[in-house]
Amino acid sequence: MPLTVAVQMDPIEHIRIAGDTTFALMLEAQRRGHALVYWTPERLSMRDGRVVARVRDVSVQDVEGAHATLGEPRRIAVEEEVDVVLMRQDPPFDLAYITASHLLERVHPKVLVVNDPMHVRNAPEKIFVTEFPHLMPPTLISRDKEEIQDFRREHGAVVMKPLHGHGGAAVVRLMPDDPNFGSLFDLFSVTFREPWVIQKFLPRITEGDKRILLVDGEARGAINRVPAAGDIRSNMVRGGGAVATSLTDKEREICEALRPHLKRMGLILVGIDVIDGLLTEINVTSPTGVRAVKALGGPDVAVDVWDAIEAKRA
């Protein structure tokens, strides 16, 4: 049965389709005969308790620079005119993001929002993962200087990053007795109001940071992201390179441990990051990697996502 699918995302004209997971999901929805409408987050409103949006009909094709054809803007009542919403705008996970999750929670589950907006709000990637400390490297969440110093004395080299950062921005490695710590502490203090994440440095990051995609709790595809020379960040937007990979027994154990929690929380598409057999993040806001997995000869995870969505709608 054809569905009306709304995509809440950043401006579609600015995306790079070769690596864009949202675009892959749109292509697969269109292939199945679903109607697509699109809005950016600021076009979502609530009037007298009723969620409305200024939308544009959209059709897509896998042609860079001519990838989207948009209709004229129109106003819709989301609960009455939409079957599925893909909440796919990129972080930062700030008050605007949280507000959007509250508005979409008003229409879910009558309108299936992917991922469940309440649990997206309650499971920011670098905090949700701490529910599984036995799967993680030693991790501290703090902005207390003495606490951070104690952690560094215990673990030596550490990585420090913003709690609600994304895409590898502002991720730094601090060596034992690093003279830059004081300056970095001051910089983080004035730049980020929330606590930060400090983790024991994992030297085998040079061998890659594996992104594993789970659909409705099941592992469906993976890529290994290898940092560029002279960098510790494996994110592809920071110069990391993606290579084909398979899952180790330890990684399968991690996925199996997460599966019941992801299913219970309605987190249909999730990307986890694993370094040297240790879980570092659980990405639920706008997970990426679908196109990279397929480009490297793996499965088309967009197919699995839409199979799961259609099953839930049915």
Q: Which residues are the active-site residues?
A: 126, 161, 211, 225, 233, 273, 281, 283
Cβ-in-10-Å burial (0-12, 13-18, 19+) of 66 comes to exposed
Judged by DSSP in three states, 166 sits in coil
- Return the biggest CA–CA distance within the chain: 62
Let me know: does 66 contact 39? Beta carbons within 8 Å: no
SS3 content of the chain, % helix, strand, coil (to 5): 35, 30, 35
Buried b (16+ CB within 10 A) or exposed e, 25-55: bbbbbbeeebbbbbbbbeebeeeeeebbbeb
Residue 172 CB: number of other CB atoms within 10 A?
16
Query: Cα separation of 260 and 218, whole Å?
Result: 10
DSSP string for 234-271: --GGGT-EEEE----HHHHHHHHHHHHHHHHTT--EEE
